[in-house]
Amino acid sequence: MHHMTAQTLYPSGTEGHPSKIAVIGAGAVGTAVAYACAMRGDARTIVLQDINKKKVEAEALDIAHGIQFTPCGAVEGSDDVEIVRGSDLVIVTAGAKQKPGQTRLELAGSTVNLMKAIVPNLQNVAPHARFMFITNPVDIVTYAALKIMGVPRNQVFGSGTVLDTSRLRYLVSRETGVATQNIHAYVTGEHGDSEVALWSSAEIGNVPIRHWGPTLSGRLFDSDLRKEIAEEVTQSAYKIIEGKGATNYAIGLSAANIARAVLRDENRVLTISSLLEDWEGISDVCMAAPTIVGRMGAGRVLNPPLTLAERDGLTESARRLRAVAQELGF
């Protein structure tokens, strides 16, 4: 007689134990990530860890009080890193706060020093977990963490331009009146000012964007409109930070989306930031590219068709990131 395994709502963890996501940092981003993961039921247990004991316990309790209305099983918070033990995915949001007008790259030094302090402790309690970094500048932080941890590239990745890609699709959707899910376009490179929108391979329901014809406002997807949209994607975060001090809801949802791809082994194509080795002539840098994401973490990096200008933009993006990493001693 063969055994029936009970089907549950939750993905099971890597070793057959109930699935678990740990979120490090209970600030605006960390709490939004934990809330989104709980609401979507991306894991059975979600834990929040932060050095501020009162804050992290209060945030976790606030989310936990609502779990009756979610598919999630438990939400807990602690200032003790031990709570992270046994996690399938560790999502790191802790970092220095971005000040209005400050570029993402200016934050780099203090944030990388913070990673040197916290990452080894996390690795110690969750050696087999996948690690996703959201802390900005995300590409530098991901590269530094990978070097600090000394693990294979699949295990450590950053949220990259998953959110920028979502912003791009939102703007194209607004321009055309077509659902964002049917807009296939990627933002790649640095999560920041040098990122590259891959317009040449962008499609709306299988129609190349350049053949779309007039948009709702009567414009065409010419270089002017494309430039406007790409600029709005890069600048929108600054606009939000100016208005409310931080961006958190959309990054919370996009992180939960990546978490689900890992925990449910979905093998989705997402523009996460991972170590690139001879990708379009780019090596030894972490930056965003369309990547297959499943239980193993960062998988194969895809090679979309690129124009020369797009390739040059990506090469420049990589050069900038490598220069910063070297300045920080990596």
Q: Would you give per-residue pLDDT tens digits along the chain (330 residues)?
A: 555 544 556 666 656 678 999 999 999 999 999 999 999 999 999 999 999 999 999 999 999 999 999 988 999 999 999 999 999 999 999 987 666 776 766 778 889 999 999 999 999 999 999 999 999 899 999 999 999 999 999 999 999 999 999 999 999 999 999 999 999 999 999 998 899 999 999 999 999 999 999 999 999 999 999 999 999 999 988 899 899 988 999 999 999 999 999 999 999 999 999 999 999 999 999 999 999 999 999 999 999 999 999 999 999 999 999 999 999 988
Helix (H, G, I), strand (E, B) or coil at 221: coil
Task: Report yes or no: 121 and 81 within 8 Å, Cβ to Cβ.
Answer: yes
Q: Between β-strands 183-184 and 187-188, what pairing exists: parallel, antiparallel or unpaired?
A: unpaired
Contact predicate 126/45, CB 8 Å: no
**C-alpha to C-alpha distance for 55 and 48, rounded to whole angstroms:** 10
Per-residue confidence (pLDDT) for residue 96, from 0 to 100: 72
Residue-range domains of the chain with CATH: 20-158 (3.40.50.720), 162-327 (3.90.110.10)
Cβ atoms of 132 and 100 within 8 Å: the answer is no
Return the pLDDT at 288.
98
Assign 227 to helix, strand or coil.
helix
Peptide bond into 137 cis (omega under 30): yes
Residues with catalytic function:
191
Phi and psi torsions of 230, nearest 5°:
-60, -40
Location of structure tokens 């317009």? 199
**Closest by CA position to 221, among listed 185, 245, 193, 189:** 185
For position 13, what pLDDT does the model report? 64
**For residue 6, what are its two tokens?**
């009970």
pLDDT at 104: 62
Copy the structure tokens of residue 37: 């993961």
Question: What pLDDT does 225 receive?
Answer: 97
pTM: 0.92
Is the CB of residue 42 less than 8 Å from the CB of residue 263?
yes
pLDDT at 216: 97
pLDDT of residue 11: 66
* Residue 5, pLDDT score: 47
Burial of 247 (C-beta count, 10 Å sphere; 0-12/13-18/19+) = buried
Cα→Cα distances 295→19, 224, 272, Å = 12, 40, 14
Tokens describing residue 67: 């779990």
Element (H, E) at 277: none
